[in-house]
Structure 1
Amino acid sequence: MPHANLLFNCLTCKFLFLFFLAKGPVQLVLKWYLGSLMETSFLVCLMQNIKMEFTIEHTWDDLPVSHKPVTIGLKSYDGGLLMVVNAPFFNDPPAPLGEPGKPFRNLWDYEVVEAFFLNDRTEQYLEVELCPHGQHLLLLLSGKRRVWKEELPLKFEVTRMETKWEGKAHLPWNYFPPCTNKFNAFAIHGSGDQRKYEALHPVPRCELQEGQKPDFHRLEFFKELNLKRLMGEDWEQPESDIWKSHAN
């Protein structure tokens, strides 16, 4: 997207110069072309500013959370989606021992915000885990809980303050399963019997069974994610080389 804006600015300057020098029909053609460029740039800027926002207001078993809720924003960005997390910072458990900015196995045992992007027909999905201390974990799954690729590289930045944190992760389209159409998100913090599990789309109270424990892979409770709302009605999800290789 930045390259598109830069190209537009350069072309605009050149055509403005030619526009004032030109006469008659040539000026009319340049006027039409310049108008088309301005419309294209407007659409690019408009798509950059459209975003989806989700708020995690319930525990995994559909009770209200007792703190300011976690929010997750999604917007079009540089060949994929920018995922922006704003969350309270509990610092419980303490930070993982892994290097910030790198994948960390079993990150779900720490303080983390997670997002799942699903094709509900094939049960293929992308799992994204982001930690306020800078570690991350990306998993590709084909079938419920069946991981076939993990620890994918990720551009992930964290801004952490005393009581809250913000994380920005660039998720390339290559990581998304074909025909992604469902979504859920989760947040985890706390230790021992104070461990808290929260969900954007929780298990309804009427579906709970005695002794049931949190399970973020209950794909039947995921809800619709219409990416055309972000990308435009004519947009088609790019083909993924990673997922294509798995199919072969």
Structure 2
Amino acid sequence: MSQALYGLIGYPAMHSKSPQMHNAALSRLHIDAKYQAFEFPPTKLDEEVQKLKLMNIQGFNVTMPYKQAIISYLDEVDPLADKLQSVNTVKKVGQKWVGTSTDGPGFWHTIKNYPQKALILGTGGAARSIISSAPADVELKVYNRHSKRFDHHYQQLKELFGIELQPLSEIKNDLSEADLIVNATNAGMSDNESILSVEDLSQAKANAHVVDIIYRDTPTALINNALQAGLTAENGLNMLVGQGILSFNFWFGQPAPEDLMQKMVHQ
């Protein structure tokens, strides 16, 4: 019997640390499977999905820009992923492909001290996942830059979560009370842009923690600004591990080796 295949689809995807994280976990638990990245542009999605079916892939993660587009290829989607219209984990069950979202639960899995008040910047798939999975006793406020799509995002958040979207310009009113500030936009992903300045972040609580869910080899401008303002800050690597742990549990029905997965991603 050939080795079971798992993987990641995205564009880009080859930079991902997911293969080293999952292959180390598979090896430790003596599971006869391998995990690899599949990178292709959106014009090839249909063709590549058909190839994955022919390869008899048993499960895969989904990253940008396919978290919504993949849904039309699935046989079933769980209620959370359906509500979010975002899937980041797929499992083959019998002859069916079943989709779920471990992004939000994975994020909160890695937050050591739950905040009383969290500020979320952004309204995309990752932001919605984090919002939907937040513990019930955490007060959330959500912000976005004013754009032509602002009213659409406002209605969407109101319908999905009963939360009123705030213009980013209003965030200064809440920074002094926030325990957690999360950037779930792509600001700073490929440039030196920061959604909040050092001056903004200096208004936050002294023990506030900043998470920029972007992960790259060098700190984003937001992380640098947070540190300069005297706050603690981290990038998206812990969220990557958190969602990876929950994906692994979903695929294999057994606990993932969390210590090893953390180590492989942070080395």
> Taking structure 1 as the reference length, what is the TM-score of the superposition?
0.26
Higher strand share: 1
Higher helix share: 2
Is the radius of gyration larger for structure 1 or structure 2?
1
> Taking structure 2 as the reference length, what is the TM-score of the superposition?
0.25
Asked which structure has the greater RCO (Cα within 8 Å, sep 6+), the reply is 1
